[in-house]
Amino acid sequence: TRVLGIETSCDETAAAVVEDGRRVLASVIATQADLHRKYGGVVPEVASRQHLENIVPTLREALAQAGVDLGGIDLVAATAGPGLVGTLLVGVSAAKAIAFALGVPLVGVNHLQGHIYANFLRPDPPEFPLVCLVVSGGHTDLVYMAGHGEMELLGRTRDDAAGEAFDKVARLLGLPYPGGPHLERLARDGDPGAVPMPRPWLEGSYDFSFSGLKTAVLYMVRDEPERHRREDIAAAFQAAVVEVLATKAVRAARERGVRTLLLAGGVAANQALRQAVEERAAPLGIRVLYPPPALCTDNAAMIAAAGYHVWRHGGRVDGLDLAVDPNLGILEG
């Protein structure tokens, strides 16, 4: 089964062709990061207009790279939420038109489930039951999965998402948007022990809270700008986020008795996080999986993979009345 995936939830116009939910034939991403950089974040109206310009060339390129023409597509999957309403509509409308013209099924995909399914784009897909830590720009969710479509929410952030915290702290340190990868690079030259940083444990729960770390950094750079090196602040902030995320994710995997722990979302590209999770999981015999960096951040291959499983195992097909939902939760859809 060849799935055409379409992703337009934020500032990446992406199209991909994926076979049987696991083999990536093509994955094309037109990013608008340069366009939004001067505003320090994504401007929804600007993003929608850019998606309209990018969507057809991006789809053409994905098909060309895959060496497949539209007639070789068996299923169309597009992100239906969460995300920006105007940008989601561009991708979903394109998907409807293509599915209708080809007479093939259409599936609306939950973007956050898409991030999880980036982990299935490999020859030896993860085995259930599993625990997955989804750490993206807008979400931080810890979920248990008994099987495809059988999800339980264990915990989530009560304020900022992990990626959002990285981006806000990066901005305070004068780094360009999106700041996560820049902050990770800066942190490599820093000493995490040189700067005091709180650990928001929220004892006894699987929930997270990262806004206090951002405030701690704000006070440091505002009130005592000469006191600490930027590298050390970056390293201390990253160490705090990573320690809390890794500890809770591995504790959840242990307490739920699973042998597989997945990392997903843009922050899963962070080397320090990957390493911290692996170090804690290895002695417990828990296998840790994460996608390659290009499949951690937004892409359409993950949407095609999730769409394939929704259709194959969930038996769901959407009609041309498929609606977008900017606020879709990770368990919905």
Residues that bind Fe ion (CB under 5 A): 136, 298
Binding partner of residue 269 among Fe ion, ligand ATP, Mg ion, none, CB under 5 to 8 Å per kind?
ligand ATP
Q: Determine if 192 is a binding residue for ligand ATP (CB under 6 A).
A: no
Residue indicated by tokens 């973007």: 111
Tell me, residue by residue from 219 to 248, as one string, x for binding to ligand ATP by CB under 6 A and - for no binding. ------------------------------
Interface stretch with Mg ion, choices 9-17, 57-65, 162-170, 284-292 (CB under 5 A)? 9-17
Q: Using CB atoms within 10 A of its CB, is residue 278 exposed (0-12), middle (13-18) or buried (19+)?
A: middle
Q: String of b and e for 112-134 (b: at least 16 CB within 10 Å)?
A: bbbbbbbbbbeeeebeebbbbbb
What are the structure tokens assigned to 289, written together?
Answer: 């999986």
Q: Determine if 290 is a binding residue for ligand ATP (CB under 6 A).
A: no
Amino acid (1-letter code) at residue 121? L
The DSSP 8-state label assigned to residue 194 in this structure reads: G
Q: Determine if 166 is a binding residue for ligand ATP (CB under 6 A).
A: yes
Q: How far is the CB of 82 from Fe ion (least distance, A)?
A: 9
Q: How far is the CB of 56 from Fe ion (least distance, A)?
A: 22
Q: How far is the CB of 297 from ligand ATP (least distance, A)?
A: 4
Q: Determine if 156 is a binding residue for ligand ATP (CB under 6 A).
A: no
The residue among 178 and 307 lying less far from ligand ATP, judged by its C-beta, is 178
The residue among 298 and 318 lying less far from Mg ion, judged by its C-beta, is 298
- CA distances for 86 relative to 10, 51, 78, 311, angstroms: 9, 9, 14, 25
CA pair distance 310, 284, nearest whole angstrom: 32
Amino acid (1-letter code) at residue 153? L
- Flag whether 313 is marked binding: no
- How many beta carbons lie within 10 A of that of residue 186, not counting itself? 23
Q: Determine if 267 is a binding residue for ligand ATP (CB under 6 A).
A: yes
The DSSP 8-state label assigned to residue 123 in this structure reads: S
- How many beta carbons lie within 10 A of that of residue 303, not counting itself? 37
CA pair distance 227, 233, nearest whole angstrom: 10
The residue among 115 and 309 lying less far from ligand ATP, judged by its C-beta, is 115
The DSSP 8-state label assigned to residue 323 in this structure reads: P
Give residues 280-309 in contact with Mg ion (rule: CB under 5 A).
298
Q: Determine if 160 is a binding residue for ligand ATP (CB under 6 A).
A: no
The residue among 44 and 105 lying less far from ligand ATP, judged by its C-beta, is 44
Known binding residues for substrate: 134-138, 167, 180, 184, 270
Per CB under 5 A, residues contacting Mg ion are 10-11, 298
